[in-house]
Amino acid sequence: MLRDFDAAFDTTRLQARYPSTDNAALGMGYHDDSFAVETLPGTGWHFMDKAIAAGTTDKWRTDPVGGELRPEIQGCIFDATPDCPVVEDGADNDFAASVAATHASWLLDQYAFAPGRTGADRDRALAGAQSLGYRLRVTAARTQAGGRSLTVGVRMENTGVAPFSYDWPVQIAAVDGRGRIARTWTTPWKLTAIEPGEPRQLTASLRASGLRPGTYTLVVRAANPLPNGVPLRFANADQDRTVNGWLTLGTTRVR
């Protein structure tokens, strides 16, 4: 049945409950349903024990890992001094180490919404949420105009724990002096290829046909294909500076 699901879903990401040799080669990630209690290795049957046995400890590079923060510790794990119950022998109760081991991209945490957290507890919970998944940042950008063409290059890094899960179209736009987008190009860049700790240099050659001579500000975004979908935001201070939803790269002059 797992193979049937794998064959049927080419776009939507799938997850299996446990790592195993039965699903190791399939295009699906994993759902740790007892996160930060039965996650870290050592018992022989915890989530990471199963991943080690199945040879899938690097599966997060191609397929996302998620799960649910174990309900019994949701109300205490982000306290200033966590004093969570020992749910069972061998329970780890170590959120940060579990994130580092699994490279989790998302987690369920019902307590965050009902009854919810306030003050410093809420701040620590938000920091925990922000430690999951990707954190994309452009560390350098250059633009070069020649004739009726533009060359745009960026150096992008991922300071998170996992890649972005989908290859949303990465677009570059030229913004005129009135703040209006004069032209948009779609690049061949793949966000899923930006892995943690492995910065990538990305370059695109763009035709400037249709642009009037003048100075333009170049901006970049990953376009969410869902109508009214939440935009990806780069971890840069220049995000949204020129146009909402876009990261400012710099200026160029078209002749």
User: To which H or E segment does residue 125 belong?
Assistant: helix 119-130
CB-side neighbour CA atoms (13 Å) of 133: 17
What's the CA gap between 211 and 203, in Å, rounded? Answer: 20
Short-list 67, 94, 105, 68, CA closest to 196: 105
pLDDT value of position 154: 98
What's the CA gap between 181 and 243, in Å, rounded? Answer: 9
pLDDT value of position 186: 97
pLDDT value of position 197: 95
pLDDT value of position 159: 98
pLDDT value of position 144: 87
pTM for the model stands at 0.91
pLDDT value of position 245: 95
DSSP string, 64-109: -EEEEE-GGGTTTTTSSS------STT----HHHHHHHHT-S--B-
Query: How does pLDDT run along the chain (255 residues), one tens digit per residue?
Result: 889 898 899 889 999 999 999 999 999 999 999 999 999 999 999 999 999 999 999 999 999 999 999 999 999 999 999 899 989 988 999 999 999 999 999 999 999 999 999 999 999 999 999 999 999 999 999 998 877 789 999 999 999 999 999 999 999 999 999 999 999 999 999 999 999 999 999 999 999 988 999 999 999 999 999 998 988 999 999 999 999 999 999 999 998
